Amino acid sequence: MAQQAVAQHAISIRLACKAFGISETCYRYQAKLSDDNALIAEQLIELTEENSDWGFGLCFSYLRHVESCCWNHKRVYRIYCELALNLRIKPRRRLKRHAPEPLKEPIRENQVWSLDFMHDQLSDGRKFRLLNVIDDYRREGLAIEAGFSVPTIRVIYGRITGECLLQN
């Protein structure tokens, strides 16, 4: 835009650059196209034709270590992208999951029980746990066991399940 302003309106370069907020160095910059770019492009095309499953990383490593080329990786990547040699990213296959079976509702009392742990903290910082035994048919709590520790053996074989069996 600054170049158009200088050409069409015959204003100075300094004034045009100041108006568009760019530096004069930016205005005067000319990109240096070297013959190396064509050589890099040729080698990249050759590599990707020979090894179709190689991505940029393998191509660059091959050029750097086997061919002993000392080009900057950013330059090589720019040319790699300009040539549109990028490999497509393959989407991951999704695992086919079977539809879960719906939960069967109990048809009588004491057919299905649920155990549920709840935990809280006292005002002095000690934590305690509550084990709730619930009958799924009646949706009624059969027993609540409170304690600072509720070991597995006490849950399975202990008095909690025994008490519930005696009640019903």
- This prediction's pTM: 0.40
- C-alpha to C-alpha distance for 149 and 132, rounded to whole angstroms: 14
Answer yes or no: do 85 and 74 share one domain.
Answer: yes
- Lowest mean pLDDT, pick from 27-36, 100-109, 158-167: 158-167
The answer on pLDDT for 165 being more than 80 is no
Whether residue 102 lies inside any domain: the answer is: no
- What was the pLDDT predicted at 2? 80
Whether residue 15 lies inside any domain: the answer is: yes
Please state the domain count of the chain: 3
Please say whether the dihedral angle defined by the alpha carbons of residues 145, 150, 153 and 155, taken in this order, is positive or negative: positive
Whether residue 69 lies inside any domain: the answer is: yes
- Lowest mean pLDDT, pick from 25-34, 74-83, 102-111, 123-132: 25-34
Whether residue 1 lies inside any domain: the answer is: yes
Q: What is the mean pLDDT of the chain?
A: 85
Rounded (5°) CA angle 16-20-22: 90
H or E stretch including 101?
none
Answer yes or no: do 85 and 128 share one domain.
Answer: no
- C-alpha to C-alpha distance for 108 and 111, rounded to whole angstroms: 6
- Lowest mean pLDDT, pick from 22-26, 29-33, 149-153: 29-33
Answer yes or no: do 20 and 38 share one domain.
Answer: no
Whether residue 96 lies inside any domain: the answer is: no
pLDDT digit string, tens, across residues 100-141: 888 888 999 888 888 888 999 999 999 999 888 889 998 888
Answer yes or no: do 72 and 42 share one domain.
Answer: yes
Whether residue 100 lies inside any domain: the answer is: no
Whether residue 46 lies inside any domain: the answer is: yes
pLDDT digit string, tens, across residues 43-70: 999 998 888 888 888 999 999 998 888 8
Answer yes or no: do 133 and 156 share one domain.
Answer: yes
Confidence of residue 167 (pLDDT cuts 50, 70, 90): low
Mean pLDDT for 73-99 is 86
Whether residue 83 lies inside any domain: the answer is: yes
Please provide residue 49's backbone torsions phi and psi, each rounded to the nearest 5 degrees: -75, -40
Answer yes or no: do 36 and 82 share one domain.
Answer: yes
Residue range of the domain that includes 136: 113-167
92 or 166: which leads in pLDDT:
92
Confidence of residue 147 (pLDDT cuts 50, 70, 90): confident
